[in-house]
Amino acid sequence: MSMIRSSVTISLVPEARGGPFVFWDDLENACLTAKELNFDAVEIFAPNPETLKSTFIKKSLADNGLALSAVGTGAGWVKHKLHLSLPNPAERKKAMDFIKGMIDAGAAHQAPAIIGSMQGRHGEEVDKPSAIGYLSDALEELGQYAEQHGVVLIFEPLNRFESNLINTMESGLHILDRLSTKNVKLLADLFHMNIEEVDIADAIRQSGPRIGHVHFVDSNRRPAGNGHIDLKLVSNALDEIQYQGYVSAEAMPWPDSESAAKTTIESFNRYFRN
Ligand SMILES: [Mn+2]
């Protein structure tokens, strides 16, 4: 039996509305539904570290027997317009501090933080090599910081419409190879991979043990099972690399949150529990 575990996303960030999160706003109800559907964990997109540290979240997880699979850090971008490739060193430092707070808060639940939109982009004031340099320095420091807190750091390649820095698993591996820390793992997001990879299953196999988290979602960002990704090839590739982490539903709440969660768990059971 596969040791891959199921997870579903909850956004507590109003500024992210329209984004690919299954549940919104009502953490208590989301956790109840996740438990009813037999999810192992939830992944939380929170506005700040304080929210993650609240006893309310601790209680909702504990009451429903749910683990925290990961925490998003993108609120630093959607709320404060911070990211790791900004031209101003003081602004980059603010982005680092925000992420460190999220690493601390996640680590209290043994959950890693994810660097997705916080990687930023190059542009008029920062050319691509400089942006990649800033990002590498940040991943080095944050990877070591996470290690001190007993968690890995998760880095997520994004598709070309969301970042112009690291779009494929291969370029993600390339940047991680040059770090001295080995504590940064890649996030395999099937939606981004469907846009950027030649072959999703091959990219999973080539990344192997360096994959630390999976965003389980279909080609159109609807719940897994509602698009055209061949999920059997994905589950075979994850089995082949002996992946032991979470597949976490980061998908649009289509047609609504509860149906999206239900579709996801049906696909999870079909492809990862037989
Ligand atoms: Mn993702």
**Number of domains composing the chain:** 1
Tell me the C-alpha distance between 151 and 219, whole Å.
30
The CATH number of whichever domain residue 226 belongs to comes to 3.20.20.150
Tell me the C-alpha distance between 229 and 274, whole Å.
19
Between the CA of 250 and the centroid of ligand 1 the distance, in Å, is 6
Whether the per-residue pLDDT at 149 is higher than 60: the answer is: yes
Number of H helices, E strands in the chain: 11, 9
Taking alpha carbons only, the member of 136, 220, 119, 215 closest to residue 175 is 136
- pLDDT tens by residue, 237-252: 999 999 999 999 999 9
Whole-prediction pTM value? 0.98
Beta strands in the chain (DSSP E): 5-11, 23-24, 41-45, 67-72, 113-115, 153-155, 184-189, 211-215, 246-249
Between the CA of 147 and the centroid of ligand 1 the distance, in Å, is 22
Q: Which domain holds residue 169?
A: 5-272
Mean pLDDT computed over 199-227: 98
Whether the per-residue pLDDT at 139 is higher than 60: the answer is: yes
> Residue 13 carries which DSSP code?
-
Between the CA of 140 and the centroid of ligand 1 the distance, in Å, is 21
Mean pLDDT computed over 39-43: 98
Mean pLDDT computed over 76-95: 98
Between the CA of 156 and the centroid of ligand 1 the distance, in Å, is 7
Mean pLDDT computed over 217-226: 98
Mean pLDDT computed over 106-119: 98
- pLDDT tens by residue, 153-206: 999 999 999 999 999 999 999 999 999 999 999 999 999 999 999 999 999 999
